[in-house]
Amino acid sequence: MVQVRLGGTLQSYSGGRSTFEIEGANIGQILAGLGEACPRLKPLLEKGVAVAVDGEIYRGSLLHPVRPDAEVFILPRMAGG
């Protein structure tokens, strides 16, 4: 199980809950699991989010592996100028 934390804004879709225990070996599996655990988050997750794994931000790598003890943080989708 990976401990997954939500950025503040996403918490308003999880009834204020900020931490989830999700089964998954990569980012895609964790996002899918999170969508199962909290269906209201699903449309946001599908629209696209960024995922910080041990402080490194991934915006489009669903297949990136995640160790069970990794720090996983779900962030909004981001872009620059």
Partner 1 sequence: MPLDQTAKSGTPFSKVGTRPLRPDGLDKVTGRARFGADMTAPGMLIGRVLRSPHAHARIRSIDSSAAEALPGVKAVITAADFLDRQDEHRDILVNVMAREKALYDGHAVAAVAATSAAIAREALSLIKVDYEVLPHVIDVEAAMRPDAPILHDNMFTSGVEPRPSKPSNVAARYQFGHGDVQAGFAAADVVIERSFRTEATHQGYIEPHACLASVGSDGQGELWCCTQGHFMVRDISAALLGMDISKLRVTASEIGGGFGGKTTVFIEPVALALSRKAGRPVKLVMSRAEVFRATGPTSSTSVRVKMGVKRDGRITAAEAELKYQGGAFAGSPVELGAMSAFACYDLENVSVIGYDVVTNRPKQAAYRAPGAPMSAFAVESVVNELAERIGMDQIDLRLKNAAKEGTRAAYGPTFGPIGLIETLKAAKAHPHYAAPLGPNQGRGVACGFWFNFGGQTCVSLNINIDGTVALAVGTPDIGGSRASMCLMAAEELGVSYDRVRTVVADTSSLGYNDVTDGSRVTFASGMATIKAAREAVKKLCARAAAIWGIPEDAVVWEEGQARPAGPNAGAFPPLSLREIAAMAPKTGGPIAGHCEFNAENAGPSFATHLVDVEVDPETGRATVLRYTVAQDAGKAVHPAYVEGQLQGGAAQGIGWALNEEYIYGPDGRLQNPGFLDYRIPVASDLPMIDTVIVEVPNPGHPYGVRGVGETSIVPPLAAMANALSAATAVRFTELPMSPPRVLHALEARRMAQAAD
Rule CB under 8 A: which residues touch partner 1?
Answer: 5, 7-9, 11-13, 15, 47, 52, 54-61, 64, 71, 73, 75-76, 78-81
According to DSSP, the β-strands at 19-22 and 2-6 are antiparallel
Kindly state the smallest distance separating residue 4's Cβ from partner 1, in Å.
11
Residue 48 CA, distance from chain mean position: 10
Kindly state the smallest distance separating residue 55's Cβ from partner 1, in Å.
4
The answer to whether the CB of 63 falls within 8 A of the CB of 56 is no
In the bound state with partner 1, the residue whose beta carbon lies nearer, of 69 and 79, is 79
